[in-house]
Chains A and B, each alone.
Chain A
Amino acid sequence: MPIFDPVDDPGSNFPELLRRVGLGTSAVAAGGDLSVPHGTTCVALRFADGVVLAGDRRATSGNLISHRSMEKVVQADQFSGVAIAGAAGPAMEMIRLFQLQLEHYEKVEGSALSLEGKANQLSMMVRGNLPAAMQGMVVVPLFAGFDTRRVVGRLFAYDVTGGRYEERDYVATGSGSLHAGTVIKVGYRTDMTRDDAVTLVCRALWEAADADSATGGPDALRGIYPIVATVTAAGWERVGDDELASRYEAIANEVRAR
């Protein structure tokens, strides 16, 4: 059981604790072109009650589809979620560590981090991944959550160096972000309802999948749909596959009728 001197205590910092006990992750030092699975399009936008996050399910290695049901949009804690585009391995590890850090802080301190605190924490983790990013293992997350102190949904985008940018309305990342972002840009209205917001992100991912080979569309054959989740004052809530199935059915019909 790890016990430290008061002057030498890692506090509520879980990554620092990992380093102290010798479990810290060292930066990847690989030369040459690594072919690792990559995840692709993720979007997030603000609506009247909070934020909605969405991401497709495809992971690719070069021309191959390496995974069809990857979860790139995950819950970080009760009031926030992360969507990650980039090298799948480091991305998943970063999410796992981020989730644990939020929970660890909450348990050690007895209260949860503020939303801005969580966003800064993630910023430091992305920055820590910079050496690996230089080798091509780029990880670029989106962070979205409900700020319980300000009673408002907030969005944060990141760059490879850990730069953190708060977005006012919406944000898209990954290889299909140009198409998804444009759909949202055209359809976005302030204070949208949950229904409109979910429809818009579904539509954005549809168009991204239509134009970007690395983004997966809805797979009715296998019953795999993008992950869409909302974060409001009531907390994180994932949109069910049944609801997504009917929404995509509606979009498909609309496109067919053109």
Chain B
Amino acid sequence: MSMPFYVAPEQVMKDRADYARKGIARGRALVALRYTDGIAIVAENPSETLRKISEIYDRIAFAGVGKYNEFDQLRVAGVRAADLKGFQYSRDDVDARSLANQYAQILGQIFTHEMKPMEVEILVAEVGQVPAGDQMFQILYDGTVMDERDHSALGGDSEAINTRLAESYADGLDLAAVVRLGISALSGPDRTIPTRELEVAKLSRGDGRRCFRRLDDDEVDALVGS
């Protein structure tokens, strides 16, 4: 009988983290920013049909980067959890914090117990009834949850993008301003991203029950051009 080689737990965790980070860094990034009437999410996404940003519930949006099948599985699980909770209790009881915690549990569990960690980073954003109620949670491949206030960046090169966001972000920007800022932060100083390679959506306060809406290319052009 052959004996397996001993590998230090630190090494196992490090290898898994490196593997996940490498997978995530290959994909393109996305940013979320708070504006006066809600939260805008801008993603670099060349596909017109495979979405990175989507609706979870009345006031909650989901965005993911990394391996598409993995974050899409998490998205559907989120929609199910939210719809079940709203059905069982009330629509008012569905909140982003609880969803973020459930995602963190799943990702943490998979990171420590499965052969392969999920190569994803996800964002759960909720628009509040008042600006003070806006929430953004970023969840990493190992289940780490980060609570962001004004802006957040996910995916490859997210540190540089976050720095660019922090430099130019100010309180009280409108939708057009944050979308412009998001696009310029994603592209950086050396390139421009054509509108058809962008996916933009917003959660806007006071848009009735379902606050989530996608912006099509023409709307984005109109916003950015103005």
Contacts and interface: CB of A to CB of B under 8 A. Distances in A.
Interface of A: 1-3, 14, 17-18, 21, 23, 96-97, 100, 103-104, 107-108, 110
Given A1-B103, A3-B77, A23 B83 contact: no
Interface of B: 51, 54-56, 73, 76-81, 83-84, 86-88, 99, 102-103, 105-106
A1 B80 contact: yes
Most buried by A among B80, B81, B86: B80
A15 to B, nearest CB: 10
Nearest to B56: A107
Given A23-B88, A107-B56, A1 B78 contact: yes
B79 A107 contact: yes
A1 B77 contact: yes
Contact of A100 (B78, B83, B106): B83
A203 B194 CA distance: 56
Given A18-B84, A23-B87, A23-B88, A104 B73 contact: no
A40 to B, nearest CB: 28
23 contacts: A1-B77, A1-B99, A1-B103, A1-B105, A1-B106, A2-B84, A3-B73, A3-B77, A3-B106, A17-B80, A17-B83, A18-B84, A18-B87, A21-B84, A23-B87, A96-B87, A97-B87, A103-B83, A104-B80, A107-B55, A108-B76, A110-B51, A110-B54
Given A18-B87, A107-B54, 5 more contacts: A14-B83, A18-B84, A104-B80, A108-B76, A108-B80
Contacts of A96: 87
Contacts of B103: 1
Contacts of B79: 104, 107-108
Nearest to A14: B83
Contacts of A2: 77, 80-81, 84
9 tightest A-B CB contacts, nearest first? A1-B102, A1-B81, A107-B79, A1-B77, A2-B80, A3-B77, A104-B83, A107-B55, A108-B79
- Looking at chain A's contact residues, is the secondary structure mostly helix, strand, loop, or mixed? helix
Most buried by A among B55, B56, B76: B76
Contacts of A103: 83
A8 to B, nearest CB: 13
A108 B79 CA distance: 7
A21 B80 CA distance: 11
A108 B81 CA distance: 12
Most buried by B among A17, A23, A96, A107: A107
Contacts of B73: 3
A97 to B, nearest CB: 8
Contacts of B55: 107
Contact of B84 (A3, A17, A97, A110): A17
A248 B135 CA distance: 48
A96 B87 CA distance: 9
A23 B106 CA distance: 22
Contacts of B105: 1
B152 to A, nearest CB: 21
Nearest to A107: B79
B70 to A, nearest CB: 11
Contacts of A100: 83, 86-87
Nearest to B209: A103
Contacts of A108: 76, 79-80
Given A1-B77, A2-B77, A23 B84 contact: yes
A110 B83 CA distance: 15
Contacts of B76: 108
